Every structure is written in structure tokens, then in C-alpha cells.
Amino acid sequence: MLNPSIMRKIKYSLMLLPAFVLLTLAFCFRETSSSDSDLVKTIVKALQKDHYEPKSIDDKFSKELFELYLKTQDGDKRFFLKGDIDSLKEYQTKLDDQAKSGQFEFFDKVNAMHVVRVARAEKWYKEILSKPFNFTSDEFLEYDEENPEYLNTEAELKSFWTKNIKRQVLERYYSKVNKQEKALERKDTTLKVVKSNDSLEAEARQEELKSHNEWFSSIKKLDHKDKISTYMNCMTEIFDPHTGYFPPQDKENFDIRMSGKLEGIGAQLQEKDGYLKVASIVPGSPSFKQGQLKAGDIILKVAQGDAEPVDVTNMKIDDAIQLIRGKKGTEVRLTVKKPDESIVIIPIIRDVIVIEDSYAKSMIIVSEGKKYGYINLPSFYVDMNDKFGRSCAKDIEEEINKLSYDQVSGIILDLRNNGGGSLGDVVTIGGLFIKRGPMTLVKQKGYDAEMLGDGDGKVRWDGPLTIMVNEISASASEILAAAMQDYGRAVIIGTPTYGKGTVQRFIDLDEEYPSGQANPMGALKMTIQKFYRINGSTTQLTGVIPDIIIPDRYRYLKIGERENKYALASDKIKKANYEMTAEWADKIKKAVANSKGRIASNMFFQEIELLAKKIEKLSKKTKYTLNYNEYKAEMEQNDKDNKRFEELMKTVTSMSLENTSEDNEQIGKDESKKRIKDEWNKSFEKDIYIQEAVNVLKDLN
């Protein structure tokens, strides 16, 4: 939940003032800067000019922005009262005018109010957690997560906080009691002291206090830039959910995710109790090679070479990471506290770090004496800053070549949880499986649809092909799955996909809309096109419906584009000129029928279907017990159900997996590479979805 505050720099002494005085002072302290004013006016101009389906900046837009921004500030209705919202309603139809003129009166008033309400809640939770809870009363917390309502009085809101915190402590308390009881049953010798229930309850409250302290600390760390970014993103979301504002730092992080590489030291970091802690070291990275920095170390200070070090204690993690990142060949010196409390200074020369987990990988599945290829593609990545750099299209072709060399009898392309990426690369990848033809139709505002396709006449894989998708597969994943389905080239297996049928590009605001300001404005990720299947229909909202639908534990949850209020509509256009690959039609028909029969009689999939319905039921729950015995009964039933499921899944036969010949050569005697690849292979060893995809390949042969 996002509950940021722009007022964290107000002196602590102001927090002691009466609420109405604080609110007045906070409001007076804020003056609209010229950079903020230029930013909002530039974003409005860009949205109107470049968006695929621009909206009028009018009273309707104003009402939507009013509602959406308040939701980002207090979506769970934990801070504001109904009276607070009523006092802001004068702005409901003014926000369009404020955006055009570069004013932030509503923004300032909400944030000033938010500071006061957060301070009130902070006082409440500390008071609530200072006293023991009684878990014997027949008491309930009633809360509709889908449609929470603002409460009328402070007494009602404090009661909600009390019950909500009590529920969270109850969960921790039960876990502690249950753990101790099981240890006693096992006669666990590591259990040195048997604690009383009162002691366990006190521990649970203390842990919850720590959790709340961290939450409120994160609220206070969000600064003015964070808050402005949130407000800008509320404006862009009204145009559609995939248009967004990226401050310069966020754009850099996006580029790193897309390229799968960054220049730095190769340490995964996390914020813990105000400290920057090393979570893991990327194998082969500068930190890995230097050898001194280890998981569990705490970074206290960061220096650029021999410059003065900067204290990063209690610094926002994003700001600290910016200090640690840097250009290849430069030195960063980290002042680090080791687990033994010793303090050391570690010099590391930065380099390009390749994040291998983000790249395509393959393995071979051996079944009934035959080999089948498996390729996992986490995203449609591309190096936006280097046209000769790494791309998913090049990597997929390379993985296909590896598998072909090992003479596999079919290939599974796994696009599960792949949220999309490079449009150009998905067109190229589609061309690896057909001779030539369109892959998608792309329509821009004011123009007829343009066909994007493959025309090189070369096929890298002409054998049996299955493509795996799920509810998170989106955008580029949907283009590829839809095209292969429309051509009759592959069997699509999984659950209906996300339903994102739009294309975005980044617009550098400083380049395209220069304001003359010294501070960079950042970028807009703008929806500029809609894409369509080659049959003329769209994946927008509907997604891709697999040829074979397999039960999934999350299939009944509200996930997908269709759940977003501001999603663009679904429509149709004239289909492209293409020919189906008739050679696969009969085999695909037979494979689909056989698979449906196997799934219907498969006890594992039957159990997953039951679990999916249970998860759906839990997602609609609005009443939560605060009675220990009732909660215990619920948890014991859940444990019983989960154990039955886990025991059943243990009986799944492991697949026989091996590396490609080329991967084995590349790994050679490098134990770290071998361990990483073996662990990756092992993570799929009992994946029953992949096992069914292999069965489909067998039917296609």
C-alpha cells in the first residue's frame, strides 16, 4: 500500500503542535516550484498530443484524478475519515484547471492532511501494541478489501486499527504457540526454554510493533519527488494503465530490467531496520571476484574512490543504490559492518553485471527414450542503448540451435509470467517457426493498421511446438502465442492470458518538450499503438484463450487488463493476409483432444482445481475472527488441506533433465556455473504443467 508524505523534512518539534496548526503550517510551507509546474504542464501537453486515445482534460478527468489520487494515499481507508474527504470535495472539478496551469493546491492539501493523519495513526498503533490482547472473546474484524469505506469518527477508525492490529498479532501468536507445541511433541532438544502463552503474546506484539515501525518509517522516507511522481502517475493512468511517468532514476531502473545488465558491483541489497543489508552476491560479478563483501554484511558508508564517504544509514534504498552503482572501471569503497561487528572498508572496481536470471535458458527433458527441448523466456528483453547488444530474439535462436544439435523431438517455449517487452523481438522470434508472414497488426492514431511480419523465408525450428502461458503472460507474449495459434503452428497450453493489446514507447520529456529547467524531468511511457492478431481480433481485455486450458490455483482471482477501470476497449479490424500451416492441423486437433482427456482424469489437476476454488473463496472473505480457538480451528483445517496437497504433489514423478551439449561445454569445470544451472533445472523437475506439455509434444510427433 502506498501512503507517502512530502512533509518528512518538517522539524520534529512541529509534530508536537495541535493538528489544526500543523495542517496550516504544512500548507503554508509549500510553494509550487517552477520545475513542478513545468513538469505537470509538459505531461498534460504530451498526453494530449501523443497518446493513442487522448482524453479531454475536463471536469470528468478532474473527478477521476480526485478519486485515484486519494486511493493512492489511503486505498485501505486507514488514515482519512469521511469528513476529511468531504472537506476536499471542493476540488473535484478543479484538478483539470490546476493541471493546465501548473498548480498543486489539492495535492498540497491532501499531503498536509496525510501527515497529520499518519501521525495520529502512529500514536494509535504504539498505544494499541503497548497492552496485551485477550483472544478469548467472540470478536470479529469486518473488512471488505475490495470495497472499503471511509469511517465517520475517530472512535470508529481507532476501533478498526485496534481490531486490525489484534488480528495481525493473533496470527503471529498462533504461529509461535503452534511452533512450540510441535517442538514439545517432537521432544526437540533445541527448545531450551518453554515460554508461557503470555510471553509468546508479548513477543508477537513486539514483532508487530517492529513491523509497523518499519512501515511508518518507509512512509516518512518518501520525499517530495516520490510524491510528485505518484500524482503524475495518477494523471497518466486515467489515459490507460500502461501509460506512466518515470523520473530519471526510475527510467534507468527500467532500462536495466529490459537489458538484463547494469554497471555496478553485483550485490543484491535490501533495507532492514534502517540499514542497507547485502542479501546475496551475483556470481561472477565484481563483488564476487573481489571476495570480501558477503551476504549478511551491512553497508554503512559509500565513497567514490578516495572521496569523502557518505553515510547511507536510514537513507532511502534507491538513493543508496545510486551511490553504489556507477560506470565500468570506476572504484567504489564500501564501509561495511560484518556479522562479527568488525568494520572494514572494501574497495570494488565496478563492471558490467549480467543478470542471467533475466535471460532465456534451455534444457533437455528425456522421456521414453526421446529428448524434448524446453526454453524458458522470462521477458522479451533488449538492450535499448546498444543495437548490437543482447536481445531475446538472438538468444532464443541460439537456444533453438543448441536443442536442434542435440536432436530433440519437440520444443516447449515457456512464456508463463512473461509480461512482455520488445515488439521487434517478438516478431523476429515468431519468424523462427514459420517461413514468412505477418505476426501482428499495429494501429497508430489516425492511420490504417500496419502489418509487422517475418520475410526471410528461413525456419529455425519446423518440428512439434507447444507454447505455455498463464494469467500473467502479457503483451509480447500474447502476440507470439496468438500468432502461432492463428497459423496453427503450435499448441497453446495454460490459462487465459492477461489481455494487454497496447504498445508503448518512451518519450524523453527533456528532449521532446524542453522547458529550460536545470533539473531533468524524466520520461513518459506512452501508449501510442494498439496491436491486433493477424486474424483481425485483439488480445486487448480478452487475452489469448489457450487450445488446452489447465487448472491453475489462481485462475478464479481477478487478474488481468479487464479488471482495470481505465483499460482501452477491445475492438476488431480487417484481418491480415496469411496462410495456416495445414500440415499440423490434424495432429494439433488430436493432441488437444488427448490432452483434455488426460487433464480431466489427472488427480493432480483435480486437486489444483479444488485449491483454486478455495483461494477464490478466501479472496472474497470479509469477516475475520479475533478468537484464538476459532482461528486455530481455521488454521488446522488449512494445514490439513495443504498437507494433503503437498503429500499428493510429492508423488509426482520427477522428469529426467539434462543440459544441452553446448551448455555442458561452456560450463566446463566452473563449479559455480554448474551449480546455478543445476539448481535452475531442478526447479522444474516436478512441474506437472511442463510434463503435460511434453505429453502434447509426443502426440504431435
- 184-187-192-198 Cα dihedral, nearest 10 degrees: 0
Q: Residues 474, 535: one domain? A: yes
Do 579 and 688 have their domain in common?
A: yes
Q: Are 336 and 428 in a shared domain?
A: no
SS3 565: coil
Which residue intervals of 95-153 are DSSP H helices?
95-101, 105-128
- Cell numbers describing residue 300: 554503512
Q: Is residue 251 part of a domain?
A: no
Round to whole Å and give the CA distance between 592 and 587: 9
Buried b (16+ CB within 10 A) or exposed e, 331-370: ebbbbbeeeeeeeeebebebbebbbbebbbbbbbbeeeee
Sheet holding 361-367, edge to edge: 548-549, 491-494, 465-469, 411-414, 370-376, 361-367, 656-658
pTM for this prediction: 0.82
At 5 the pLDDT is: 31
Residue ending a domain, choose from 239, 274, 301: 239
- Rounded Cα distance between 500 and 568, Å, is 9
We report the CATH number of the domain holding residue 323 as: 2.30.42.10
Q: Nearest CA to 366 among 691, 701, 682?
A: 691
Helix (H, G, I), strand (E, B) or coil at 106: helix
First CA to last CA distance, the chain: 50
In a domain, 643, yes or no: no
Domain boundary among 354, 385, 410: 354
Average pLDDT, the chain: 87
**Got the DSSP string for 37-94?**
HHHHHHHHHHHHHH-SS----SHHHHHHHHHHHHHHHHTTSSS-BHHHHHHHGGGTTT
Mean pLDDT, residues 142-151 = 89
Beta strand pairing call for 267-272 and 623-625: unpaired
Among 96-100, 230-234, 383-387, 583-587, name the one with the lowest average pLDDT: 383-387
In this predicted structure, the answer to whether residue 199 has a pLDDT above a threshold of 50 is: yes
The residues, any chain, with a CB within 8 Å of residue 176's CB and separated by 6 or more, are 200, 203, 204
128's grid cell: 494499541
CATH number for the domain spanning 483: value is: 3.90.226.10
Q: Mean pLDDT, to the nearest integer, of 670-680?
A: 81
**283 in the same domain as 180:** no
Is it the case that residue 213 has pLDDT exceeding 70? Answer: yes
Q: Indicate whether 208 and 297 sit together in one domain.
A: no
Alpha carbons 177 and 529: distance in angstroms, whole number? 56
Q: Both 495 and 581 in a single domain?
A: yes
Percent of the chain past pLDDT 90, that is, above it, reads 60
Burial classification of residue 688, based on how many CB atoms lie within 10 Å of its CB (0-12 exposed, 13-18 middle, 19 or more buried): middle
Cβ-proximal residues to 576 (8 Å cutoff; 6+ apart), any chain: 438, 441, 451, 453, 534, 535, 536
Mind listing the pLDDT tens digit for each residue in 370-384? 999 999 998 898 887
pLDDT > 60? residue 10: no
DSSP letter for each residue of 228-295: HHHHHHHHHHHH-TT-EEE-HHHHHHHHHHHHTEEEE--EEEEEETTEEEEEEE-TTSHHHHH----T
Average pLDDT over residues 550-554: 90
3-state secondary structure 457-484: CCCCCCCCEEEEECCCCCCHHHHHHHHH
Q: For residue 124, name the pLDDT band (cuts at 50, 70, 90).
A: very high
How does DSSP classify residue 359?
S
Whose cell is 551511490? That residue is: 323
In a domain, 6, yes or no: no
Domain interval for residue 614: 358-621+652-700
Task: Quote the CA–CA distance of 474 and 498 in Å, as a whole number.
Answer: 5
- Strand 343-349 and strand 548-549: the pairing is unpaired
DSSP string, 630-678: HHHHHHHHHHHHHHHHHHHHHTSPPPEEE--HHHHHHHTT-HHHHHHHH
Q: Is residue 630 part of a domain?
A: no
Are 446 and 522 members of one domain? yes
User: How far is residue 409's CA from residue 465's CA, in Å, rounded to a whole number?
Assistant: 9
For position 418, what pLDDT does the model report? Answer: 92
- Burial group, residue 641, by CB count within 10 angstroms (0-12, 13-18, 19+): middle
Domain identity same for 693 and 670: yes
Give pLDDT, residue 252.
Answer: 58
668: left (phi over 0), alpha (psi -120 to 50) or beta: left
Q: Identify whether the C-beta of residue 313 lies closer than 8 Å to the C-beta of residue 274.
A: yes
Average the pLDDT over 283-293 and give the result.
79
Pairing of strands 310-311, 298-304: antiparallel
Q: How far apart are CA 566 and CA 153, in angstroms?
A: 32
**Measured CA angle at 128 (ends 124, 130), to 5 deg:** 120
Whether 69 contacts 92, CB under 8 Å: no
639 assigned to some structural domain? no
Tell whether 615 and 554 lie within a shared domain.
yes
Separation between Cα atoms, residue 390 and residue 378, nearest integer Å: 14
pLDDT at 211: 87
Model pLDDT, residue 295: 80
The separation between CA 419 and the C-alpha centre of its own chain, rounded to angstroms, equals: 9
316, part of any domain: yes
CA atoms of 611 and 309, how far apart (whole Å): 53
pLDDT value at residue 12: 25
Q: Is 563 helix (H, G, I), strand (E, B) or coil?
A: helix
- Output the pLDDT for position 493: 98
Q: Are residues 522 and 550 in the same domain?
A: yes
Task: Name the band, by pLDDT with cuts 50, 70 and 90, for residue 23.
Answer: very low
Residue 567 inside a domain? The answer is yes
Q: Residue 9: pLDDT above 50?
A: no
Count of the separate structural domains present in the chain? 3
Tell whether 181 and 274 lie within a shared domain.
Answer: no
Long-range contacts of 76-79 (CB under 8 A, 24+ apart): 76/1, 76/145, 76/148, 77/148, 77/149, 77/150, 77/151, 78/3, 78/121, 78/157, 78/160, 78/161, 78/164, 79/3, 79/114, 79/117, 79/118, 79/120, 79/121
- The whole-number pLDDT of residue 17 equals 27
- Tell me: pLDDT of 65 over 90: yes
**Domain-located, residue 248:** no
| Element housing 523 (H / E) | strand 523-532
DSSP character string of 607-621: HHHHHHHHHHHHHT-
Query: Residue 665 CA to chain centroid, in angstroms?
Result: 35
In this structure, the number of other CB atoms found within 10 A of the CB of residue 11 comes to: 7
Strands 465-469 and 491-494: parallel
At 246, list the grid cell. 518515470
How far apart are the C-alpha atoms of 689 and 649, rounded to whole Å? 12
Residue 26: pLDDT above 50? no
Both 555 and 689 in a single domain?
yes
CB neighbours (10 Å) of residue 309? 16
Q: How many helices (H) and strands (E) does the chain have?
A: 22, 22
Which residue among 319, 354, 389 closes a domain?
Answer: 354
CA torsion 449-452-455-461 (nearest 10°) is -140
